[in-house]
Structures are given as C-alpha cells and as structure tokens.
C-alpha cells in the first residue's frame, strides 16, 4: 500500500481531534512536483536555492506542529497517569477490606470504572506512539522524493535533525504504556479470566470491545507493525522492527470487520 493511502486510512482511524495534526503529505508531494518541474505557486522558479528554502520552511512548520501536539499530549498523559494512581489509592483506602468504608460491591464497581479508564488511556498512548512513527516515516519518504526528483541532498541532514525532535522521542510515553500494563497485571489480576490479551500494546478487555478507542488502537498497532517490519526496502532511514509477538487479534483485524468480542 502506498504511503499516502496508508496515511489517509490511519487519519480516519485515529481520534477525531487528532486528524489535522498529521503530516500534510499530499501538499508536500504537490510542492515537490512543482519544484522539480521548475514552477511554484508564484510562477517560474529561477532560483533553486529559493525553492529549497521554501520546501524546508514547509517541513519545519510541520515539525513544529508535530512537536506542539506531541508535547501537549505527553503532558496530559503524565497528569492523567498520576490521577489514575490516586484514584486507585482512594478506592482501596475507602472501600477495600481495610478501608474506612469496606464494601465489596462499591470496591468492584469503582475499580471496574478505573480499569476501563486505564485501558482507554493505554490505547491513547499507543495511538500517540503510532502518531510519532507515521509522521517520521512520512517525512523520510517525502525527503526521499525531493532528493530523487530535484537532485538535492536534504534527506540525511534533515533526518538527523528530526531524530532530535520531541515528537520522535517516545521513551516517556513507552514507559507510561508499560506502567499501565503493570498496573493492570498487579491491580486487576482477574482481567485474564475475562479475556485479556496479554501482550505489550495489545491489552484490551471485553469492557471496551464496543468502544471506538479499541478499534483505533488495534489499527495503530497494525500500522506500527507494518511500517517497522523489515523488508527489501528497509534502509538506514527506516524505523527498527517493532518485534511485537504475533497476535491472533491483529492477524484477523480488517478495517471493515466487526469489532471482536474478547
């Protein structure tokens, strides 16, 4: 599948409020065609350096967009993660066996709500990791097109710059994803009996099987696996393989298929 089509499908599968935050790949492709043919929206380009400067300006604006959105989401995730931990502590302190108002019914109801929120939170973080991956891949591809069609040498120095950008650095988000999974294992050990998928990035419970975030998360995982899979086109600018264990859920997922009941 061509990247432009894959990006379009991924934007459709993500959260609605995220859809204008992705790479403007179609506009960049159009700009590359105009530059390589010697024209621009302003007419003929007699100065190759000016054309390259315009292209780089557009790319930098896109990176600024990625960074602003990514850092905003990252900050929100940090706050939400702490709030979830505090909610668990309050429920245990209030309704747990040794709490101030012990109640098995209230305890299970409150913890069930928290579990749903953790799973949704986990899904959003996986979507953000995918956001980073797909925008990086788009930048690498459009820079390759630019160099090929114009004879320029932008890709290597520009990608080196991209590797230092906040939107590409997902270590903190990956850490929060793992902590969510550890919390599910430690605080909700009975989830497995209800159909939990116990693989990194794939822990979704039956309680959210009908929610949009579930489908979006699986779509993101499919895209992440495909983009990071080694192939004959794998090169120095490709993302490393994701190496997630095979999942029957991912293998059987199709964009138009009904959401599976776990």
Buried b (16+ CB within 10 A) or exposed e, 201-228: bbbbbebbeebebbbbbbbbbbbbbebb
Give 52-84 pLDDT, tens digit per residue. 888 999 999 999 999 999 999 999 999 999 999
| pLDDT tens profile 127-173 | 999 999 999 999 999 999 999 998 889 999 999 999 999 999 999 99
Average confidence score pLDDT of the chain? 78
Q: How many residues does the chain have?
A: 262
pTM of the model: 0.76
Please give the C-alpha separations between residue 88 and each of 75, 183, 241, 248, in angstroms, as whole numbers: 21, 10, 35, 31
SS (H, E, C) 8-67: HHHHHHCCHHHCCCCCCHHHHHHHHHHHHCCEECCEECCCHHHHHHHHHHHHHHHHHHHH
The percentage of residues in the chain with a pLDDT greater than 70, rounded to a whole number, is: 68
Alpha helices in 96-211 (DSSP H): 104-150, 155-162, 171-187
Which residue is associated with the tokens 């009904």?
258
Are the beta carbons of 9 and 255 closer than 8 angstroms?
A: yes
């Amino acid at each position: 599948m061509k990247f432009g089509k894959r990006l379009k499908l991924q934007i459709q599968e993500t959260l609605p409020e995220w859809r204008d935050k992705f790479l403007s790949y179609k506009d960049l492709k159009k700009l590359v065609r105009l530059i390589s043919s010697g024209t621009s929206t302003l007419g003929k380009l007699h100065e190759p350096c000016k054309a390259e400067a315009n292209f780089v300006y557009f790319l930098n604006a896109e990176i600024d967009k990625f960074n602003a959105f990514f850092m905003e989401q990252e900050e929100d995730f940090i706050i939400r993660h702490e709030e979830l931990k505090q909610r668990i502590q309050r429920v245990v302190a209030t309704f747990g066996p040794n709490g101030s108002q012990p109640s098995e019914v209230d305890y299970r109801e409150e913890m069930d709500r928290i579990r749903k929120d953790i799973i949704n939170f986990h899904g959003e973080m996986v979507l953000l990791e995918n956001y980073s991956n797909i925008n990086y891949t788009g930048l690498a591809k459009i820079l390759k097109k630019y160099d090929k069609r114009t004879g320029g040498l932008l890709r290597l120095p520009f990608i080196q710059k991209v590797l230092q950008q906040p939107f590409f650095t997902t270590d903190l988000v990956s850490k929060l994803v793992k902590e969510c999974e550890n919390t599910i294992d430690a605080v909700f050990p009975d989830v497995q009996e209800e159909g939990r998928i116990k693989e990194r990035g794939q822990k979704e419970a039956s309680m959210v099987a009908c929610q949009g975030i579930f489908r979006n998360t699986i779509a993101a995982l499919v895209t992440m696996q495909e983009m990071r899979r080694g192939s004959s086109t794998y090169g120095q600018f490709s993302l490393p393989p994701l190496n997630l264990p095979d999942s029957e859920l991912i293998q059987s997922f199709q964009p138009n298929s009904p959401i599976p009941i776990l």
